[in-house]
Amino acid sequence: MTKILKNCLIATAMLLMAGAGFVACSNGSSQAGASEDPNQFTASIEGVVEKGPFVKGTTVTLYELNPETFAQTGRVFTGTVDRDDGSFALEKIELESPYVLVEANGYYWSELSGRKSNNSLKLKAIAHVEESSNININVGTHLTSSRILDLVDSGMDFDKAKVQAESELMKAFFGEESKTELEKASIFDNEKLLALSLIVLMSGSEADVTEALANISENFTDEAVLTKQADNSAMQYASYGKAREFMQEKFPDVQIGLFENQIESFWKRVYGIGECDKSKEGLLDTINAEKSSVRGSILVCRDVGGVYRWFWATDLEISTAGFVGVEKGKIVRSVADSTKAYVYDKDGWREATDLDFSVENCEPVEDGRLIFSISNPNKAYVYDKDGWREATEVELKLGEACTESRNGVFTFVLNSDYICKGGWTYAWIHDFAKESYFNSDVKYGSVKDERDGHVYKTVKIDGKTWMAENLAYVTDGARCEDSLTVGCDYAWKAALSVAEEDTVLKDNHGICMDGWHVPDTTEWNALVEAHSLEDLLSETGWLSGKNGTGFSMVPTDYMAGAGHVMGYNESAMADFTTSNAEISSSVFYPFKRSLLGLSVSFTNEKYSKQYQSTTRYTQGYSYEAAAVRCVKDSE
């Protein structure tokens, strides 16, 4: 037995038992229970059911209403949604009253997700019908149904009650009283109805939507009800976009109106905030709605691709609002978090860093000063080129910075000299200016090497005239990587001008200029015994050099033949060739240790102590190469 026939039998039985009334049931395509009543008329009704569109198969039920009491008469007609756009039709139904309640209960397409709902929803409409009528069932008709009946119950004419209820609903949500025949409107051609539908849909789950419909229906002018809907839908721009995308994809032939503007108009009015346009870009406004869960929150007007919209203001926007023509480096404290601040730079405002806090009010000087962090004692900053940067580990160690403007500057820290060359590095002896090796209080002489035109400083010590700098004559057997600064190092045979095949040392003139010779150990010993090591060492390149004699000895040792001149550090050394050597059977053994010839080595005092040696000595070390200091022949 079908549901329609069952309902008819029940209604007929009730009529017989009550002894009054008439009940007609129809499936929408045929009449059941004909009557001779002159007030009866035949009507055909069509329309659409929309939240988004209700799905095919949704049941649509029409209840006839008593024209006096608007109670249901018991005459019921049913149909179904038969198209994707929610369309339905009730053909040739027999009515005695022109007033009906039309109700749909089913699943619907969500305008936000583009998917079918998981649960069914009931929507209704109350209408005044004629022989041919269009009755759409939607959120608007549902929300106004109870209000229409209340107004009719108070004595108002139905048609006037309907106009007033619809006007009140439009005013509550969109701020204007307008005549809108909601049962003839569709979400596809009425942007306000689509906006209203989406505002309700953004309440949350399907259960939340049902609850929202009930609350709004009770009193759609209630401030708390409207504010809750505003809180749910405000600034949900992504959701608005999804709704438009779904509608246009599923119904490509329909021109969708600017429903987004209507939604925005709704919550802006409820919140009591103004319009957002080009003239207000960057300005703030506050949500004043007393019953809003976000009352007091601050919004900012932003330009999004030429469209101006309100957004939740960030702490940065709130804290820096009103600052115009701000100077670079200006720091503004956060209004919400005392541990935060913002700084203005060439690209605008950004969150302040520890660097910004630490260098606030500091002049941007490039003199190497370190500005220590206010939060971390192991961190510092320095002004370099055109901005501040974090100090390097070496700069922290040395206590001063190597900036671009200080290139070539020396500093002496921790018993070592450092030079600024794109960063602090150990200073090698050739990094220093050559004039710094000499004692400005000593009167130096000079000698010119006619072979290459090189002029050397000389100094007279204890009746002997010594070169005050190392020989720099370039020849075979010489290593001259840094000859202009510290001279060359020579293999012993090269220093004494002994041919590789020769086995006899003819004299000690060696590689020196005419009238000069390579000193022997006796001459070296006399020099170092008569004077302290400090007075022989240059002030540059050693830990304790005083250079009182003007001898100006600088560290020149080539570590393990690597070819780089030692600098001012704890391993500084200087090696010099002597002219006397051990001879066995008149044959030299240049590659055997201690037989090459004696060299005299001078080492840093600290270095020597580490090796339990003296600060000055002569020994039979067979260094592969050593510097040459020529001494003038007897005058």
Q: Where are the domains of the chain?
A: 22-271, 357-427, 431-632
> Is the predicted pLDDT of residue 31 greater than 60, yes or no?
no
- Are 615 and 608 in contact by the 8 Å Cβ rule? The answer is yes
pLDDT of residue 43: 92
pLDDT of residue 504: 65
> Is the predicted pLDDT of residue 269 greater than 90, yes or no?
yes
> Is the predicted pLDDT of residue 382 greater than 60, yes or no?
yes
Q: How far is it, in rounded angstroms, from Cα 629 to Cα 626?
A: 10
Q: Determine the average pLDDT of the residues in 303-331.
A: 89
Q: Which of 179, 177, 202, 180 is nearest to 189 (CA)?
A: 180
Which of 82-91, 126-135, 288-297, 615-624 is predicted with the least confidence, judged by mean pLDDT? 615-624
When pLDDT is cut at 50, 70 and 90, the band that residue 557 belongs to is low
Longest alpha-carbon distance in the chain: 160
> Is the predicted pLDDT of residue 559 greater than 60, yes or no?
no
Two tokens at 4? 């329609």
Q: Determine the average pLDDT of the residues in 176-180.
A: 74
Residue type at position 118? N
Q: Which of 312, 291, 268, 111 is nearest to 174 (CA)?
A: 268
pLDDT of residue 572: 65
More confident of the two residues 178 and 262: 262
Q: Determine the average pLDDT of the residues in 490-501.
A: 81
The percent of residues above 90 in pLDDT, for the chain, comes to 56
pLDDT in tens, 79-116: 999 998 899 999 999 999 999 999 999 999 998 888 99
Which of 2-6, 103-107, 434-438, 585-589 is predicted with the least confidence, judged by mean pLDDT? 585-589
DSSP string, 479-495: E-TTHHHH--EE-HHHH
More confident of the two residues 179 and 522: 522
> Is the predicted pLDDT of residue 29 greater than 70, yes or no?
no
Q: Determine the average pLDDT of the residues in 402-430.
A: 89
What number of CA atoms fall less than 13 Å from residue 356's CA on the CB side? Answer: 18
Two tokens at 556? 């020149």
pLDDT of residue 571: 57
pLDDT of residue 447: 97
Q: How far is it, in rounded angstroms, from Cα 271 to Cα 263?
A: 12
pLDDT of residue 492: 79
Coil, helix or strand at residue 52 = coil
Q: How far is it, in rounded angstroms, from Cα 313 to Cα 555?
A: 67
pLDDT in tens, 32-45: 334 456 678 999 99
Which of 69-73, 162-166, 555-559, 585-589 is predicted with the least confidence, judged by mean pLDDT? 585-589
pLDDT of residue 26: 42
For the chain, the average pLDDT equals 83
- Secondary structure string (H, E, C) spanning 570-622: CCCEEEEECCCCCCECCECCCCCCCCCCCEEEEECHHHHHHCCCCCEEEECCC
pLDDT of residue 603: 45
pLDDT of residue 144: 95
> Is the predicted pLDDT of residue 290 greater than 80, yes or no?
yes
Strands (E) across 13-131 are located at 25-26, 41-48, 59-65, 72-80, 87-95, 99-106, 121-128
> Is the predicted pLDDT of residue 63 greater than 50, yes or no?
yes
Two tokens at 468? 């005050």
pLDDT of residue 14: 38
pLDDT of residue 60: 96
More confident of the two residues 9 and 392: 392
Which of 147-151, 223-227, 372-376, 595-599 is predicted with the least confidence, judged by mean pLDDT? 595-599
> Is the predicted pLDDT of residue 604 greater than 70, yes or no?
no
Which of 82-86, 155-159, 499-503 is predicted with the least confidence, judged by mean pLDDT? 499-503
The sheet that has 387-390: what strands, in order across it?
A: 371-372, 380-384, 387-390
| Radius of gyration in angstroms for the set of CA atoms belonging to the chain, rounded to a whole number | 52
Cα distances (angstroms) measured from residue 606 to each of 474, 574, 575, 612: 33, 14, 17, 10
User: Rounded to the nearest 5 degrees, what angle is found at the Cα of 496, between the Cα atoms of 493 and 500?
Assistant: 30
